[in-house]
Amino acid sequence: MSLRICILETDILRPELVDEYQGYGQMFQRLFSQQPIAAEFTVYNVMQGEYPSDDLVFDAYLVTGSKADSFGTDPWIETLRAYLLTRYERGDKLLGVCFGHQLLALLLGGKSERATQGWGVGTHNYKLAAKAPWMSPVREELTLLISHQDQVTALPENATVIASSDFCPFAAYHINDQVLCFQGHPEFIHDYSRALLDIRQQVLGEQIYQKGVASLEHQHHGTTVAEWMMRFVAHKPETV
C-alpha cells in the first residue's frame, strides 16, 4: 500500500525556470520516484491559496522551499502557519525542506532569521549528529545541494539535531516521530543549482558564486534523504 503525501508548495518558480523544472512539487515527485517505498503525491500551491479538503487523509505533509522568508508576514505565510499548527496538534507527520524546515522550527518554538554567515550555495557537507531506525541507508556524513541566506538559529526544545556543520549548526532535525526537516534541498539537481547560481551571480558576489559553481563537481545524497523521509513517514514507533 502506497504512502499518501501532501506536498504544500510554497513558491512559484521564476519564469525562465518553469518550462524545464515546473515547480518544487514536481521536483519532489521526481526525487521520490527514485526511492524504494511506494508513495503517491498530491501538490497544493499554498501561495495561491490551494489546500486539501478536510475529508482527504494523508500520511504526511511536506512543506517545500521558497524565495520567501519563513519569518515573513505575508498573508499566505500566516495562513500556512495556522494550518501547520493545526496539523501538528492533530498528530500528523510533517516534513520540511529549507523554507519548510525554518517555518516549522519557528512555529514550534525555535527561531529562524537572516543568517550572519551569509548565503549558502552549491553542495555542502554535514556531520551526522544522531542515528534513528528510519535513517537507512546509513551514512557517516551527508552532502546536499543548498541555496539559502536564512537559517534556524534556535531549535524547538523537544527537537533533536540530525545534521550540522560550522556554517549551519541546525541543518536537520526531528521532533520525536512527528516532524523531520532539512535545510538542504534533496530535490535539487546540479543543473537547477547552477541555474540558480547564474541568476543570483550579482547578488552573491563573484567569490561566493565561483565557490558555489566549483562545489557542483561533488555528488549529493538527495535520494538518501528522500528514502529517510519516506521511512520516517512509514515508521511506527514501538509501544511499550
Residue 113: active-site member? no
Residue 185: active-site member? yes
Q: 109-140: b or e for each residue (b if 16 or more CB lie within 10 Å)?
A: ebebeebeeebbbbbbbbebeeeeebbeeeee
d(Cα 216, Cα 8) in Å, to the nearest integer? 28
Cell of 224: 538518501
Query: How far is CA 76 from its chain centroid?
Result: 18
- For residue 54, the 8-state DSSP code is T
Residue 190: active-site member? no
d(Cα 194, Cα 199) in Å, to the nearest integer? 9
- For residue 38, the 8-state DSSP code is -
Q: Is 50 left (phi over 0), alpha (psi -120 to 50) or beta?
A: beta
Cell of 85: 499548527
Candidate list 187, 220, 221, 227, residue with the active-site label: 187
Q: DSSP assignment of 157-216, as one string? A: TT-EEEEE-SS-TTSEEEETTTEEEESSBTT--HHHHHHHHHHTHHHH-HHHHHHHHHHT
d(Cα 226, Cα 5) in Å, to the nearest integer? 12
Candidate list 148, 174, 185, 220, residue with the active-site label: 185
Residue from 155, 158, 148 nearest 169 by CA: 155
Catalytic residues: 98, 185, 187
